[in-house]
Structure 1
Amino acid sequence: MRTLSRLLTLLFMLIALAGCSAGKLLDITTSSGGALVTRNIAYGADKRQTLDVYVPKNVRAAPVAIFFYGGTWQNGDKATYAFVASALAAKGIVTIVPDYRLYPAVRYPAFVQDGAAVVRWSRDHARTYGGDPDKIFVIGHSAGAYIAAMLALDRQWLNREKLNPQRALKGFVGISGPYDFLPFDDKTVADIFSPARTPEATQPVNQVRSGNPSVLLLHGQSDDVVYPSNSIALAKKLRAVGSQVDVKLYPGVGHIGIIGAMGSPLRFIAPTLNDTANFILGRPDKNGF
Structure 2
Amino acid sequence: MACTDCLRPTLQRMLLKFHVCIPIAAGSLLVGVPYSISLLAQWLYGWPNKPGFRKYTEALKPRRIYCLTVAVLEMVKYLQYGKLYIQWKSWYRNSANSKYCVKDIHFGRHGNKLDLYYCPHVDGPGSALSPAVIFVYGGAWGSGERSTYCLLAMQMAKELNKPVICPDYSIYPKGNVMEMVQDIADCILWSRETGHTFNIDKRNIVLIGHSAGAHLCALTALFLAAESEEMGIELSKQRDILTSVKGVVGLSGVYHIMNHYQYETWRGVEYVSTMHKAMGGIENFEHYSPTLFVKTLTEDKLAKLPPFTLIHGTKDTIVPVESTLQFSEALTAAAVKASLFILPHVGHTELVTDLMGSNRRYYHTILGCIKQGINKVTAHG
Q: TM-score, normalised by structure 2?
A: 0.64
1:156-171 matches, cutoff 5 A:
156=228, 160=233, 162-164=237-239, 166-171=242-247
Letter matched to residue 257 of structure 2: F
Give the distance between the partners of 2:79 and 2:220, measured in 1 at CA: 34
Give the distance between the partners of 1:83 and 1:273, measured in 2 at CA: 14
Question: Is the 8 Å Cα contact of residues 62 and 94 (structure 1) preserved in structure 2?
Answer: yes
Distance of aligned partners of 1:268 and 1:201 in 2 relative to their CA distance in 1, 3 Å threshold:
same
* Correspondence for 1:176 among 252, 256, 268: 252
Asked whether 1:250 is paired with 2:323, we answer: no
Give the distance between the partners of 2:314 and 2:289, measured in 1 at CA: 21
In the alignment, which residue of structure 2 is the partner of 1:154?
Answer: 223
Kindly name which structure, 1 or 2, has the bigger radius of gyration based on alpha carbons.
Answer: 2
Distance of aligned partners of 1:93 and 1:197 in 2 relative to their CA distance in 1, 3 Å threshold:
same
Task: Please state whether the residue corresponding to 1:101 is helix, strand or coil.
Answer: coil
In the alignment, which residue of structure 2 is the partner of 1:119?
Answer: 188
Distance of aligned partners of 1:221 and 1:27 in 2 relative to their CA distance in 1, 3 Å threshold:
farther
Question: Is the 8 Å Cα contact of residues 220 and 252 (structure 1) preserved in structure 2?
Answer: yes
Question: Is the 8 Å Cα contact of residues 276 and 282 (structure 2) preserved in structure 1?
Answer: no
In the alignment, which residue of structure 1 is the partner of 2:210?
Answer: 141
Shift of 1:131: 1.7
Distance of aligned partners of 1:72 and 1:238 in 2 relative to their CA distance in 1, 3 Å threshold:
same
* Correspondence for 2:129 among 61, 66, 69: 61
Letter matched to residue 168 of structure 1: S
Give the distance between the partners of 1:158 and 1:138, measured in 2 at CA: 17
Question: Is the 8 Å Cα contact of residues 26 and 263 (structure 1) preserved in structure 2?
Answer: no
Letter matched to residue 255 of structure 1: H
Q: Determine which structure has the larger strand proportion and give its number.
A: 1
Question: Is the 8 Å Cα contact of residues 144 and 177 (structure 1) preserved in structure 2?
Answer: yes
Give the distance between the partners of 2:342 and 2:291, measured in 1 at CA: 18
Question: Is the 8 Å Cα contact of residues 205 and 244 (structure 2) preserved in structure 1?
Answer: yes
Give the distance between the partners of 1:85 and 1:142, measured in 2 at CA: 16
Deviations 1:59-98 (A, max 9, x none): 5221111000011111111011011211121031111000
Asked whether 1:40 is paired with 2:104, we answer: yes
* Correspondence for 1:262 among 355, 359, 368: 355
Letter matched to residue 172 of structure 1: V
Letter matched to residue 218 of structure 2: A
65-74 or 98-107, which deviates more: 98-107
Moved over 6 A (4+): 25-28
Task: Please state whether the residue corresponding to 2:286 is helix, strand or coil.
Answer: helix
Shift of 1:24: 3.7
Give the distance between the partners of 1:153 and 1:113, measured in 2 at CA: 12
Give the distance between the partners of 2:184 and 2:255, measured in 1 at CA: 16
Structure with more contact order per residue of length (Cα contacts < 8 Å, sep ≥ 6): 1
Give the distance between the partners of 1:41 and 1:140, measured in 2 at CA: 20
In the alignment, which residue of structure 2 is the partner of 1:72?
Answer: 140
Asked whether 1:279 is paired with 2:373, we answer: yes
Q: Determine which structure has the larger helix proportion and give its number.
A: 2
Letter matched to residue 366 of structure 2: T
CA RMSD of aligned residues (A): 2.8
- Count of aligned pairs between the two proteins: 270
